[in-house]
Amino acid sequence: MLIATWNVNSIRTRLSQIIDWINQVNPDILCLQETKVMDDNFPVEPFEKLGYSLEIYGQKSYNGVAIISKIKPENVKKGFNGCTESNQNSEIFLDQKRLISADINGIKIINVYVPNGSSLDSSKFAYKINWLNCLSSFLDEQEKKGELICLMGDFNVAPSNLDIHDPKKYEGGIMASEIERNALKNVLKKRLIDSFRIFEQNTGHWSWWDYRNNGFELNKGWRIDHIYISKELTSKLKSCVIDCSPRGNLRPSDHAPVMIELNLNGINEDFFEDEDNFFEI
DNA sequence: ATGACGAGCTGCGCTCGA
């Protein structure tokens, strides 16, 4: 089963590129972020023609997430429920469409668009940390229910300095601060594993390049789009790949898709039988 | 290299993103 995540920076502007990519890659599940459109205006037909079901949670201009799946998603939930964070009822918190989850093939698929946070002294930064704390509570609930989890999306956090092209310049700033990294760790705890880092421990792999200053051409990127899976699923994980090719398209999204392959019928024994092969996050 | 790019809006310049 091929599972992908992609911040497309407008579903309508990127539609033909997304359809082309689906035709090349044939994912079973594709989670999108930054669709930037209200549900009534989401272009569902091109995906339905290819045999996909859609679950969408969008808003005008900003944010917006969607799950596109060959198997019809069940138990679809939009946004948080039961978050105990202090400002959970504020208008801004409820208005931003950043999370959608569903059960597919026995796995709890959680698609997130984590707030960027702007800068460390911004009120948006406090919102980002608060949002991540709510996500942590949300995952606590899922863990209590014994769910197998695949948590993916645009996290707007580089988990370590390996995930930044110029750590000396950016360490400690937005997307690379200890506060954000600790908030992300508190979401993952020890229960969720970074799929990409199981296969690749070196720096130099990015999922986002700034539109400005020839970021992609100069390969000055960040790895901020992630697929985290329950420890119990790692025995079924065959690969995790960042597909940089769509970033080279004309009028691209600034993010590249990230995808994993899960072999739900078999176990990849040669690597995962040894507990020591699990990496610290 | 962050005013420097790109998207959306009811637009003809602004806000926002990362």
* Mean pLDDT of the residues in chain A: 92
Residue of A231, A255, A230, A228 lying closest to A242 (CA atoms): A255
Mean pLDDT, range A225-254, rounded to an integer? 98
Residues A57-102 pLDDT 10s: 999 999 999 999 999 999 999 999 756 555 555 555 667 999 999 9
DSSP A46-71: HHHTTT-EEEEE--SSS--EEEEESS
- Measured CA to CA in angstroms, residue A148 lies from A192, A215, A232, A234, A237 at distances of 10, 37, 7, 11, 13
Q: Provide the pLDDT confidence category of residue A280 given band limits of 50, 70 and 90.
A: very low
Asked whether the predicted pLDDT for residue A277 surpasses 60, the reply is no
Distance CA A176, CA A119 (A): 11
Cα A88 from Cα A233, distance rounded (Å): 31
**pTM: predicted TM-score of the whole model, two decimal places:** 0.93
Binding residue positions of A for Mg(2+):
7, 34, 154, 156, 254-255
Distance (Å, whole) CA A79 – CA A72: 19
Q: How far apart are CA A86 and CA A89, in angstroms?
A: 8
Percentage of chain A beyond pLDDT 70 is 90
In this structure, the dihedral spanned by the alpha carbons of residues A24, A25, A28 and A33, taken in order and rounded to 10 degrees, is -100
Active-site entry in A154, A163, A194, A225: A154
Q: Where are the domains of chain A?
A: 2-8+71-277
Phi and psi dihedrals of A86, rounded to 5?
-65, -40
- What mean pLDDT comes out for the span A37-41? 96
Q: Which fold has domain A2-8+71-277?
A: Deoxyribonuclease I; Chain A (3.60.10)
The label of the residue with tokens 């690379």 reads: A176
Show the tokens assigned to A73.
Answer: 């998603």
Say which nucleotide is closest to residue A224, CA to C1' distance.
B18
Range name among A148-157, A174-183, A258-267 with the lowest pLDDT average? A258-267
Q: Which nucleotide is nearest to A113 (CA to C1')?
A: B17
